[in-house]
């Protein structure tokens, strides 16, 4: 059972426009959510995160929104740049018991930003 | 400032062969993880460790073994490789809020 889902395998956006990447989760024990970015032939790198007690976190061009009632989070990139083209993974941390700190990842969304 | 180092970066194995993937971190993290990345499946947890001498199963542990004899090293072993284990393997270490990943090992089993 996939506890973290990214239902859009890919997204194509024009440079300068907004990119919106979505993520849904099912486990109410998740207390922290993260977005990772991955370029080809490299490991994922941390991008931005949000605690479950907040509904928004902003860092430059990147903003993450959390809707706990809908178990949904989204990553907004404004304005999008060609260098943002990468695979984006949503991840959630389980606060419960012996799995504390363990991250569960979504399937990833390939973002392509066209010049 | 190495972070997390994985060796080797590439490997081709024949079915039935064995190998060990090495992960080393220099950040003094307690927690270390092994993930595999497959198209459409995202990153799936194979095994993890919450400290030296400890290991635990993740989401897809079958066919793999791990050891954490030293805090800085986490080894992933394949005793008898199968084509289904063709994947990109990532090691990560983390403490609290988020991980640092290695650059990955691309393994092909033929």
Q: Are A73 and A90 in contact (CB under 8 A)?
A: yes
Is residue B97's pLDDT more than 90?
Answer: no
A108 touches chain B (CB under 8 A): yes
Q: How far is it between the farthest Cα atoms of chain B?
A: 38
Task: Report the half-sphere exposure of B63 (CA within 13 A, side-chain side).
Answer: 14
Q: What confidence tens digit (pLDDT) does each residue in A62-75 have?
A: 999 999 999 999 99
Contact A102 B48 (CB under 8 A): yes
Q: How do B64-67 and B73-78 pair as beta strands?
A: antiparallel
Beta strands in chain A (DSSP E): 4-5, 10-14, 19-25, 30-38, 45-51, 56-59, 62-67, 72-77, 86-94, 103-105, 109-114
Residue A39: closest CA among chain B residues belongs to which residue?
B103
CA–CA separation, A40 vs A59, rounded Å? 24
Contact A43 B4 (CB under 8 A): yes
Is residue A100's pLDDT more than 90?
Answer: no
A45 touches chain B (CB under 8 A): yes
Distance from CA of A108 to the nearest CA of B (A): 6
Q: What confidence tens digit (pLDDT) does each residue in A78-92 have?
A: 999 999 999 999 999
Average pLDDT value for chain A: 93
């Amino acid at each position: 059972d996939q506890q973290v889902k990214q239902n859009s395998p890919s997204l194509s956006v024009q440079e300068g426009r907004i990119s919106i990447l979505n993520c849904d989760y099912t486990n109410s024990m998740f207390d922290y959510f993260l977005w990772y970015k991955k370029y080809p032939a490299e490991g994922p790198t941390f991008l931005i995160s949000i605690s479950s007690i907040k509904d928004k976190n902003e860092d430059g061009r990147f903003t993450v929104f959390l809707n706990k009632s809908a178990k949904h989070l989204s990553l907004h990139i404004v304005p999008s740049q060609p260098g943002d083209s990468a695979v984006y993974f949503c991840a959630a941390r389980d606060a419960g018991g012996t799995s504390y700190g363990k991250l569960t990842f979504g399937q990833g969304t390939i973002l392509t930003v066209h010049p | 400032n190495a972070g997390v180092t994985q060796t080797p970066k590439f490997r081709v194995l024949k079915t039935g062969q064995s190998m060990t993937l090495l992960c080393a971190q220099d950040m003094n993290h307690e927690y270390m993880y092994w993930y595999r990345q497959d198209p459409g499946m995202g990153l799936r947890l194979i095994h993890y460790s919450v400290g030296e001498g400890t290991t635990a199963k993740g989401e897809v542990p079958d066919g793999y073994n791990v050891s954490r004899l030293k805090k800085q090293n986490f080894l992933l072993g394949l005793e008898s490789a199968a084509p289904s284990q063709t994947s990109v393997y990532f090691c990560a270490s983390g403490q609290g809020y988020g991980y640092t990943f290695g650059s990955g090992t691309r393994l092909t089993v033929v």
